[in-house]
Amino acid sequence: MEQQKVLEVKNLKTHFFTKEGVSKAVDGVSFYLNKGETIGVVGESGCGKSMTSLSILNLIPSPPGKIVEGEILLHGKNIVGLPQEELRQIRGKKISMIFQEPMTSLNPVITVGEQIAETIRLHEKLPRKQAWDKAVEMLRIVGIPSPEKRAKQEPYQLSGGMRQRVMIAMALACSPDVLIADEPTTALDVTIQAQILEILKDLQQKMGMSIIFITHDLGVVSEMCDKVAVMYAGQVIEEGATEELFEQPLHPYTRGLIDSLPKLYEEQDELQTIEGSVPSPYKYPVGCRYADRCPFARDLCREAQPELIEMAKGRKVRCYQYSEKWNLQESGEL
Amino acid sequence: MSENVQAATLSQVRSQVKKKKRKELWQKIYSNKAALAGLIILSIYALMLIFGPLLSPYDPYEIDLQNKLQGPTLDHLMGTDDKGRDILSRILYGSYLTLGVGFSAVLFGGSVGILLGLVAGYYGGKIDSIISRLIDVMLAFPGILLALAIVSALGTSLINVTIAVGFFSIPMFARIVRGSTMEVKKLEYIDAVRTLGANNVIILFRHILPNILSPIIIQASMRLATAILSAAGLSFLGLGAQPPSPEWGAMLSAGRDFLFNAPHMALFPGIMISFLVLGLNLLGDGLRDALDPRMKA
Amino acid sequence: MAVFILKRLAQVIPVILGVTLVVFLIMQMVPGDSAVILAGEGASEQTIEDLRESLGLNKPIYVQYFDYIKGVVQGDFGNSLKNGKPVLEEISTRLPITFELAMYSIAITIILGLIAGIVSAIRPYSWLDMSFMVIALLGISLPSFWLGILLMYTFAINLGWLPVAGWESPMHIILPAITLGAGGAAIVARMTRSSMLEVVNQDFIRTAKAKGLKGYVIIFKHALRNAMIPVITVVGLQFGSLLGGTVLVESVFAVNGLGRMIVDAIRTRDLPVVQGGVLVASLIFVFVNLIVDILYRVFNKRIDLN
Global ipTM:
0.84
Q: Average of pLDDT values for B185-197?
A: 81
| B263 located within any domain | yes
Per the CB < 8 Å rule, is B148 touching C247? yes
| A326 located within any domain | no
Q: Average of pLDDT values for C262-286?
A: 88
A153 pLDDT above the threshold of 60: yes
The residue among C109 and B75 whose pLDDT is bigger is C109
B76 pLDDT above the threshold of 90: no
Can you say whether the dihedral through the CA atoms of B284, B269, B173, C231 is positive or negative? Answer: negative
Integer Cα distance of C304 and A223 in angstroms: 38
Mean model confidence pLDDT for chain C: 86
Integer Cα distance of A301 and B287 in angstroms: 49
A263 pLDDT above the threshold of 80: no
Domain ranges within chain C, ordered by starting residue: 14-73, 98-299
Which of C29, C146, C282 lies closest to B145 in CB terms?
C282
Mean model confidence pLDDT for chain B: 83
B36 pLDDT above the threshold of 90: no
Interchain CB contacts (distance < 8 Å): B and C: 156
Q: Which residues of C touch B154 (CB under 8 A)?
A: 29
Integer Cα distance of A8 and C31 in angstroms: 87
Q: What CATH number does residue B166 fall under? A: 1.10.3720.10
Subunits in contact with chain B (3 or more CB pairs closer than 8 Å): C
Which of B148, B150, B281 lies closest to C140 in CB terms?
B281
B186 pLDDT above the threshold of 90: no
Q: What CATH number does residue A59 fall under? A: 3.40.50.300
Domains: count for chain B: 1
Integer Cα distance of B62 and A324 in angstroms: 100
Query: Do A10 and A84 belong to one domain?
Result: yes
Percentage of residues in chain C having pLDDT higher than 70: 94
DSSP 8-state secondary structure symbol assigned to residue A318: -
At C46 the pLDDT is 80
Residue B249: give the domain boundaries. Answer: 25-295
Convert the pLDDT of each residue in C104-137 to its tens digit: 999 999 999 999 999 999 888 888 998 998 899 9
Q: Average of pLDDT values for B192-202?
A: 82
| A229 located within any domain | yes
Q: Do chains A and B touch (3 or more CB pairs under 8 A)?
A: no
Task: Kindly report which listed range (A57-61, C186-190, C297-301) carries the lowest average pLDDT score.
Answer: C297-301
At B197 the pLDDT is 77
User: Which residue in C144, C266, C255 sits closest to B230, CA to CA?
Assistant: C144
At B211 the pLDDT is 84
B4 pLDDT above the threshold of 90: no
Chain A positions contacting chain C at CB under 8 Å are: 57, 59, 61, 88-93, 96-97, 99, 101, 104-110, 118-119, 122-123, 154, 156, 167, 170
Per the CB < 8 Å rule, is C301 touching A106? no
At A1 the pLDDT is 43
- Assess contact for A37 and A57: CB atoms under 8 A: no
A333 pLDDT above the threshold of 60: no
A260 pLDDT above the threshold of 70: yes
Query: Do A254 and A192 belong to one domain?
Result: yes
C303 pLDDT above the threshold of 70: no
> Which residues lie closer than 8 Å to A209 by C-beta, 6 or more apart?
A36, A172, A175, A176, A177, A178, A179, A203
Q: Which of B45, B141, B248, B282 to mutate to test the interface with C (most CBs of C within 10 A)?
A: B141
Percentage of residues in chain B having pLDDT higher than 70: 88
At B130 the pLDDT is 92
C178 pLDDT above the threshold of 90: yes
Integer Cα distance of B37 and B30 in angstroms: 10
Query: Do A72 and A221 belong to one domain?
Result: yes
- Assess contact for B190 and B207: CB atoms under 8 A: yes
Q: Average of pLDDT values for B72-80?
A: 77
Q: How confident is the model at residue B2 (pLDDT cuts 50, 70, 90)?
A: low
Query: Do A23 and A78 belong to one domain?
Result: yes
> Which residues lie closer than 8 Å to B97 by C-beta, 6 or more apart?
B158, B241, B245, B246, B247, B248
| A288 located within any domain | no
DSSP 8-state secondary structure symbol assigned to residue B228: H
Q: Given its phi and psi angles, is residue B124 left (phi above 0), alpha (psi -120 to 50 degrees) or beta?
A: left
User: Which residue in C186, C192, C295, C292 sits closest to C245, CA to CA?
Assistant: C186
Query: Distance between alpha carbon C286 and the CA centroid of its chain, in Å?
Result: 10
Residue A113: give the domain boundaries. Answer: 106-175
| A194 located within any domain | yes
| B19 located within any domain | no
Q: How confident is the model at residue B107 (pLDDT cuts 50, 70, 90)?
A: very high
- Assess contact for C288 and C239: CB atoms under 8 A: yes
At A271 the pLDDT is 55
The residue among B76 and B88 whose pLDDT is bigger is B88
Convert the pLDDT of each residue in A109-142 to its tens digit: 889 999 999 999 999 888 999 999 999 999 998 8
Per the CB < 8 Å rule, is B297 touching C14? no
At C176 the pLDDT is 93
Quote the minimal CA–CA distance from A100 to chain C in Å.
Answer: 10
Query: Do A169 and A180 belong to one domain?
Result: no
User: Which residue in C254, C259, C262, C245 sits closest to B259, CA to CA?
Assistant: C254
Quote the minimal CA–CA distance from A69 to chain C in Å.
Answer: 22
B77 pLDDT above the threshold of 70: yes
Q: Average of pLDDT values for B70-78?
A: 77
Convert the pLDDT of each residue in C183-216 to its tens digit: 999 999 999 999 998 898 888 999 999 998 988 8
| A99 located within any domain | no
| A290 located within any domain | no
Residue type, position A173, single letter: A
Q: How confident is the model at residue B296 (pLDDT cuts 50, 70, 90)?
A: very low
Does the bond joining B244 to the residue before it have cis omega, within 30 degrees of 0?
yes
Per the CB < 8 Å rule, is C285 touching B141? yes
Quote the minimal CA–CA distance from C213 to chain A in Å.
Answer: 7
User: Which residue in B154, B165, B62 sits closest to B107, CA to CA?
Assistant: B165
CATH 1.10.3720.10 at C98-299, yes or no:
yes
| B16 located within any domain | no
Per the CB < 8 Å rule, is C212 touching A93? yes
Quote the minimal CA–CA distance from A153 to chain C in Å.
Answer: 11
Q: Average of pLDDT values for A255-263?
A: 78
Quote the minimal CA–CA distance from C169 to chain B in Å.
Answer: 22
- Assess contact for B31 and B39: CB atoms under 8 A: no
Convert the pLDDT of each residue in B233-244 to its tens digit: 998 888 888 878
Q: How confident is the model at residue B206 (pLDDT cuts 50, 70, 90)?
A: confident
Domains: count for chain A: 2
Q: How confident is the model at residue A334 (pLDDT cuts 50, 70, 90)?
A: very low
Convert the pLDDT of each residue in C210-248 to its tens digit: 998 988 899 988 998 888 888 888 888 888 888 889 999
At B29 the pLDDT is 66
- Looking at chain A, which runs of residues are DSSP E strands? 5-18, 21-34, 38-42, 65-74, 77-78, 95-98, 178-182, 210-215, 227-232, 235-241, 309-312, 315-317
At B297 the pLDDT is 34
Q: How confident is the model at residue C38 (pLDDT cuts 50, 70, 90)?
A: low
Q: Cα separations (Å) of C207 from A81, A125, A186, B218, C293?
A: 21, 20, 17, 36, 30
Integer Cα distance of C52 and A65 in angstroms: 79
> Which residues lie closer than 8 Å to B172 by C-beta, 6 or more apart?
B109, B113, B219, B223
Q: How confident is the model at residue C31 (pLDDT cuts 50, 70, 90)?
A: low
B294 pLDDT above the threshold of 70: no
> Which residues lie closer than 8 Å to B180 by C-beta, 6 or more apart?
B117, B121, B211, B212, B215, B216
